[in-house]
A and B are shown apart, each in its own frame.
Chain A
Amino acid sequence: MKKYTIHLLIALFIIPTFTSRVTGQNFTISGTLKDANSGEGLIGATVRIPELQGVGVTCNEYGFYSLTLKTGTYTLRASYVGYLDFEQQIVLTKDQRLDINLKDNATLQEVVVSARKENEKVTQAQMGVEKLDVAEIAKIPVIFGEKDILKTIQLLPGVKSAGEGNSGFYVRGGAADQNLILLDEAPVYNASHLLGFFSTFNSDAIKDVTLIKGNSPAQYGGRLASVLDIKMNEGNDKNYRVKGGIGVISSRLSVEGPIQKEKSSFLITGRRTYADVFLKLTDEFKDNKLYFYDLNGKANYRINANNRIFLSGYFGRDVLGVGNDIGIDWGNKTGTLRWNSLIGPKLFSNTSLIYSDYNYNIRVNQSGTEFNLNSEIKDINLKQEFQYFPNSKNSWRFGFNAIHHSLAPSRFKSNNPDITDQNKETRYALENAAYVNNSFNATDRLNVDYGLRLSSYSVLGAGTFNIYDKGILKNTIKIGDNKFGKTYWNLEPRVSASLTLNENSSIKAGYSRNTQNLHLLSNSTSGSPTDSWIGNSYNIKPEIADQVSLGYFRNFAENKYELSAETYYKDMQNQVDYKNGADINTAPDLESELLYGKGRAYGLELNLKKKTGAFTGWISYTLSRTERQLEGVNNGDWYNAKQDRTHDVSIVGIYQLTPKWSLAGTWVYYTGNAVTFPSGKYEVNGNTVLYYTERNGYRMPAYHRMDLSATYESQRKGRFQGSWNFSLYNVYGRQNAYLINFIDDPNDPSRTVAEQTSLFRWIPSVTYNFKF
């Protein structure tokens, strides 16, 4: 298998060299596509030459395009969803620069919600890719009326919610930590606020959201299941703009504008919840705190036509407190400094210096003695990427990425000298990757996207490392300051190809290998701020996933409808989990509490989408299976993973009733999670104790729910535009099981009963949004 893969790769790297041999004199037209009003780069906009069948390029993440053609006269057409097409005749006799400003089609946007490129999904080689239109998600109802990209992606095929109202998600049988969540290239280690009911992403600051389900190009790496690539707005470089929203739970405000017109701009967005304001009104909870806030900021500066720098950052924090006795706070910080440089018309370079941090702190004050439990993960990350566009058939990306990780495990401390503080060592590691990826339009009908990523993870000193065999200490290794310990190397080939059958349909196939060097250990049912990240070590090896997928894509009725069917099979190695009865908070070395095993996942994803007209929306259905095998669990047999759900259905509909009113509704249904329930009971010291026979042998009841919303856009007054969003969560009040506890019957202590807890029936909300 391995040998075959390498041969295939060699063949693929050689083909383009032959087909792209020079046949006459070539010149390059290149430039940037921007929004005419805001100056924002248009990611994914297309530039085409209508007279040349199949010749066109897509703008990169900074709105840059480069197209190399033979000498001649052409029509150049630039287009983007919701914008008027731009056309210009070009006479190509030398390399040319053409920056294009596209005007948004305001009238178009009010009447129809249009798609990106009409048949983009059919023709592009990439598979398992989902793009979210940030404007569209504002209409989809969500809990508490707080529009949220992480909740919306859960409605896509192959993506499952981690639980009621939860922003955690599972992709193709992967666990929640197997998603690489990037905010302006910075990994976000805990993407949820308030125990998962909100995500850390304030939609007002977000420009573009792309989810790649496993078959990611080689520039992405480090997680097994998916990449969620989120890009923040750059900030309007022409005019000052303010937008905001007032909701039942939180309020948002965002300001953007030029620093120097068309040269530099900024964006600042903030959000805060105010549940704590209501707490203050109650007698019982007036001393308690419960809120979160976050801030997004970005600035950019155009040094000259070929160089631009961006600085962006995120800061968010959750604070929870009970009087002066208990305080818990946690949050992420990210910062990204980027330098775009056009080295030549065909060569684009981006250098990024990235900082990510996640930490939590728990403080308990007991009669003057203060106890602290805290943990932190901190990354410094350098990324260099080149994008090379040699001709109209090829585009290349290559580069490297070096990350220095510091992982401080949860440590217990106190101000009482009688209590010995825990001295768990901070772990250091260096994670490196080099990659090359080519998108190759082999023929009019065949597109291939393939690449190779070489990744390494080195344990760094100083540190003392224990080696365990089945939980028993076998050996101890000491590594000096900044000295290299164990290094793991992985070669990760990826390839995906699409073969267009006719104008409306295509088949695609893909294979990819992904590895993961950081692992999140969680022992709770639905993610907790205190779940800890742990890196590879002498015991923990990189997780490896090999995924093959096959898909059929078809558009109907002049691209009004889009149908896709994708299947996948994924094999996962070196999965990590806690052993039964693990001491997760205070064990001196967490690695003694772990088990290792394998996983496999397979499924079928169907999606039918209506993309244009007054009524738009989609139906998606996923049939899947996800299993685990861990030594020492269920006698080493395969068993259903927690996130295994046989059926998962989402229906989303948005209806533009009048130019002012739009209605939206969603309905979801999924098979309950695999859970462990007791198969008997007994008594110890007078307490009833449950007896378990196997892990995840039962299922929670099936989950289903309908949400509705209505959006009213008021008359624009000058620049001021307001809108009201009314939504109702769980319309028919289904009592979905959030927890099932097995307890002594409160009315009859001689018996035991199963008690189901449900959250959130009929949660209405209203949000007022404005911009000017």
Chain B
Amino acid sequence: MQKIALLILALSAFMSCTKIIDVDLNSADPQVIIEGEVTDQVGGIQVKITKTVNFSDPNVFPALRSAVVTLSDDTGTNTTLTETNPGIYTLDSVVGVPGRTYTLQIVAEGRTYTATSKMPNPLNLQGIIIEESAFGGGPGGGTDSTQSYTVQPIFEDAAGESNFYRLIQSANGNVDNSFFNVTNDDFFNGQEFPFPVFNDGLNLRSGDTVHVAMHNIDKPTYDYFFSLGQVISGQSGTPANPVTNIKGGALGYFSAFSVGVTSGVVP
């Protein structure tokens, strides 16, 4: 669909123009943003707490410091995270366990925020297929632009249940964590993952090594990233804040997920 949008834009390019304008936007009270993750990897527990700023302000997002951040699970374990950097709270002594349900509690500036997330089972990532994309780099598949590649992770979806995945690709020190790369298994329940995936901003060339991390996420995390993708891409006529699983009035997400990693070389 993006290519279609590009084609239409290109066609109307000779009759359209853009300019930077001033829009008188309201200011809003700073809101708390929580990005909480628990993974089955060492060092995979991190909670980042920041705040919103007004649109006209520089992209400097203030850290929320000195919060009391605790993580508990359904076995009764309860630990407190430490603020290792301003607004970043970590817990290196614990590694997440698939199948457990985690509860995050944050007490900051007189308010309490809570969220829960269940870590799905890890997936057995068997490798990746990297192929030239028929779409090329330009909107019309032009030859002078950089050739583009698709990456297809190989793994089998667990049958009989709904699963949700988030894919993160990296190469040459660039990371494609665009929010579009989340999917549910509606189209391949119990089967091999069938889709080649585009990458954004990696500028892959022959010989590059591509690293892929496949996150097995729960439904609330999927809903969050899916709706965030819509907000960011501007696809919605009536944009709104993404659907959060955090209670207490904060934006963001708390996700317990398992990770499968693999890598491959661009042919």
B101 within 8 A of A: no
Smallest Cβ-Cβ distance to A279: which chain B residue: B11
A525 within 8 A of B: yes
Given contacts A523-B235, A642-B238, A691-B31, whether A284 and B20 have CB atoms under 8 Å apart is no
Partner pick for A419 among B35, B133, B194, CB 8 A cutoff: B194
CA distance A578 to B240 in the complex (A): 11
B25 and A678: CB pair below 8 A? yes
Partner pick for B59 among A367, A583, A677, A750, CB 8 A cutoff: A750
A367 and B131: CB pair below 8 A? yes
**Most chain-B CB neighbours within 10 Å: which of A522, A581, A688, A690?**
A581
Given contacts A680-B52, A684-B252, A760-B15, whether A523 and B177 have CB atoms under 8 Å apart is no
Interface string of B160-201 (1 = CB under 8 A from A): 000000000000000001010000001111011011100000
Interface string of A715-745 (1 = CB under 8 A from B): 0000000000000000000010110111010
A637 within 8 A of B: no
Name 5 A/B residue pairs within 8 A (Cβ), A-sorted. A416-B194, A588-B186, A680-B30, A684-B35, A749-B59
In A269-296, which residues have CB < 8 Å from any B CB?
A: 275, 279, 283-288, 290
Interface string of A170-195 (1 = CB under 8 A from B): 00000000000000000000000001
A735 and B17: CB pair below 8 A? yes
A754 and B23: CB pair below 8 A? yes
B77 within 8 A of A: no
A755 within 8 A of B: yes
Interface residues on A, range: 35 or more
A6 within 8 A of B: no
B16 and A759: CB pair below 8 A? yes
Partner pick for B240 among A275, A581, A759, CB 8 A cutoff: A581
Smallest Cβ-Cβ distance to B252: which chain A residue: A684
B40 within 8 A of A: no
Given contacts A684-B252, A687-B179, A751-B59, whether A735 and B242 have CB atoms under 8 Å apart is no
B134 and A367: CB pair below 8 A? yes
- Nearest CB of B to A166, in Å: 13
B10 within 8 A of A: yes
Interface string of B124-135 (1 = CB under 8 A from A): 000000010111
B231 within 8 A of A: yes
Smallest Cβ-Cβ distance to B17: which chain A residue: A758
List the one stretch of B65-73, B92-100, B109-117, B222-230 in contact with chain A.
Answer: B222-230
Residues of A within 8 A of B (CB): 195, 275, 279, 283-288, 290, 320, 322-323, 325-326, 328, 365-367, 369, 412, 416, 418-420, 422, 522-525, 578, 580-581, 583, 586, 588, 642, 676-693, 695-698, 735, 737-738, 740-742, 744, 749-761, 763
B230 and A581: CB pair below 8 A? yes
B134 and A682: CB pair below 8 A? no
A695 and B55: CB pair below 8 A? no
Partner pick for A690 among B7, B27, B141, B239, CB 8 A cutoff: B239
**Most chain-A CB neighbours within 10 Å: which of B186, B235, B238?**
B238
Partner pick for B22 among A365, A525, A754, A759, CB 8 A cutoff: A754
A689 and B238: CB pair below 8 A? no
A581 and B186: CB pair below 8 A? no
A284 and B138: CB pair below 8 A? yes
**Chain A contacts of B134 at CB under 8 A?**
323, 325, 365-367
CA distance A61 to B51 in the complex (A): 65
**Most chain-A CB neighbours within 10 Å: which of B22, B194, B251?**
B194
A676 and B238: CB pair below 8 A? yes
A323 and B141: CB pair below 8 A? yes
**Chain B contacts of A756 at CB under 8 A?**
18-21
- Nearest CB of A to B113, in Å: 15
CA distance A750 to B58 in the complex (A): 6
- Nearest CB of B to A175, in Å: 12
8 A-B pairs closest in CB distance: A581-B227, A580-B240, A680-B52, A679-B28, A418-B194, A754-B23, A525-B237, A682-B52
Smallest Cβ-Cβ distance to A684: which chain B residue: B35
A751 and B58: CB pair below 8 A? yes
Smallest Cβ-Cβ distance to B59: which chain A residue: A750
Given contacts A322-B140, A420-B191, A422-B186, whether A680 and B55 have CB atoms under 8 Å apart is yes
Interface residues on B, range: 35 or more
**Chain A contacts of B30 at CB under 8 A?**
680
CA distance A757 to B30 in the complex (A): 29
B265 within 8 A of A: no
- Nearest CB of B to A114, in Å: 38
Smallest Cβ-Cβ distance to B253: which chain A residue: A684
**Chain B contacts of A678 at CB under 8 A?**
25, 55
A420 and B187: CB pair below 8 A? yes
A682 and B16: CB pair below 8 A? no
- Nearest CB of A to B194, in Å: 4
**Chain B contacts of A676 at CB under 8 A?**
238-240
In B230-263, which residues have CB < 8 Å from any A CB?
A: 230-232, 234-243, 251-252
- Nearest CB of A to B23, in Å: 4
Smallest Cβ-Cβ distance to B234: which chain A residue: A741
- Nearest CB of A to B7, in Å: 6
B33 and A683: CB pair below 8 A? yes
**Chain A contacts of B243 at CB under 8 A?**
580-581
Smallest Cβ-Cβ distance to B168: which chain A residue: A685
A690 and B140: CB pair below 8 A? no
A757 and B188: CB pair below 8 A? no
B43 within 8 A of A: no
**Most chain-A CB neighbours within 10 Å: which of B30, B31, B35, B239?**
B239
- Nearest CB of A to B245, in Å: 12
B264 within 8 A of A: no
**Most chain-B CB neighbours within 10 Å: which of A283, A412, A420, A761?**
A420
**Chain B contacts of A688 at CB under 8 A?**
59
B18 and A288: CB pair below 8 A? no
- Nearest CB of B to A48, in Å: 51
- Nearest CB of A to B46, in Å: 12
B21 and A754: CB pair below 8 A? yes
B15 and A288: CB pair below 8 A? no
